Structure 1
Amino acid sequence: MNGAMHDSSGVVDIQLKRGPAGLGFNIVGGVDQQFVSNDSGIYVAKIKENGAAALDGRLQEGDKVLAINGHKLDNLLHSAAVDLFRSAGENVELRVQQRHTMPLVNGPSRSRPDNEASFSALGLLGITLASVVLLTFVYMRLRPQMKRHF
């Protein structure tokens, strides 16, 4: 892997070698197609499986591309940004603002695998509601029997 972390802001330089399918990712954004409100930046929309970016592993969906081969991507139309990517040559250097700045640690950076679902508040609410309904049903069924014992 080629590249360097510049500072704690999550700005990284990534060198990619263009493959048969290009650089292996799609972009969104630009002054005419803002992806993020009040931000005309260029963002990675999709990483293509087995493309140059996926094989490198550092570029992620949602990352903001700040520059390509030293050309800043500020205040560009989407089509102008696409043209820069297409004409960038075989070896391409990207300066990227990573979506999530991860602390530098040894070991896994996530607490659970991507394919393991997290327990949502909506799920907790559903279980709580189901428990209340079940307890109400049991109470209503036992209530006539409880009256007989008094």
Structure 2
Amino acid sequence: MNGSAIRTAAVLDIQLKRGPAGLGFNIVGGVDHQHLMNDTGIYVAKIKENGAAALDGRLQEGDKILAINGHKLENLSHSAAVELFRSAGEDVQLRVQQRSQFAANGPVNPRADGDSSPAVGVVAVGVVLALAVMGLFLYKRHSSFRRPF
């Protein structure tokens, strides 16, 4: 083992009854819209307040949906997965892998608006400059204590 934290995520079977607003959650992912790098799975993006999933309480944002009514969601496009949810009927059986707190990789693009933050680049440049100035200062200070032979 390389010292990394490993935790196996629990798999749950959750029965939901479709309400007036559907099942009460949004999904992301699929082979054509990967949510996580190198993972084509379908994930819960958002739990809608007072929806069937929120009232049940077990399904959480970030959970991976493995199957719906016995149909595995492996290697499906996002639209094919959406169609399975739409045609699932009133009583829906979900097999869900709960999100792990020690995930190996994160979202391909964690920002919902699709923009990367310029602040990250500014902070990185600032840190590099600060380290360079500090290194130069320590080098000059250390050289002033040297005596020639």
Unaligned runs of 5+ in 2: 1-7, 102-149
Judge conservation of contact 2:9–2:100 (CA < 8 Å) in 1: no
Deviation at 1:90, TM superposition (A): 0.2
**Hey, what does 2:12 align to over in structure 1?**
12
Corresponding residue SS for 2:55: helix
1:93 partner amino acid:
Q
**Hey, what does 2:69 align to over in structure 1?**
69
Deviation at 1:30, TM superposition (A): 0.1
How far apart are the structure 1 equivalents of 2:20 and 2:70? 23
How far apart are the structure 1 equivalents of 2:93 and 2:45? 18
Q: Any residues of structure 2 matched to 1:96-135 within 5 Å, and which?
A: 96-100=96-100
Deviation at 1:100, TM superposition (A): 3.1
How far apart are the structure 1 equivalents of 2:34 and 2:9? 22
Aligned: 1:43 with 2:43: yes
How far apart are the structure 2 equivalents of 1:50 and 1:25? 10
**Hey, what does 1:113 align to over in structure 2?**
none
- Normalised by the length of structure 2, the TM-score is 0.62
Corresponding residue SS for 2:84: helix
- Normalised by the length of structure 1, the TM-score is 0.61
**Hey, what does 1:87 align to over in structure 2?**
87
Q: In the comparison of the two structures, how many residue pairs are matched?
A: 94
Q: Any residues of structure 2 matched to 1:13-28 within 5 Å, and which?
A: 13-28=13-28
Task: Specify which structure has the bigger relative contact order, considering alpha-carbon pairs within 8 angstroms and separated by 6 or more residues.
Answer: 2
How far apart are the structure 1 equivalents of 2:100 and 2:54? 17
Please provide the CA RMSD for this pair: 1.1
How far apart are the structure 1 equivalents of 2:9 and 2:100? 9
Deviation at 1:82, TM superposition (A): 0.1
Corresponding residue SS for 1:84: helix
Judge conservation of contact 2:26–2:47 (CA < 8 Å) in 1: yes
Q: Any residues of structure 2 matched to 1:135-146 within 5 Å, and which?
A: none
Query: Which ranges of 4 or more aligned residues in structure 1 deviate by more than 4 Å?
Result: none
Judge conservation of contact 2:9–2:99 (CA < 8 Å) in 1: no
Judge conservation of contact 2:43–2:62 (CA < 8 Å) in 1: yes
**Hey, what does 2:34 align to over in structure 1?**
34
- Superposed CA deviations along residues 58-101 of structure 1, whole A, max 9, x for unmatched, are 00000000000000000000000000000000000000000037
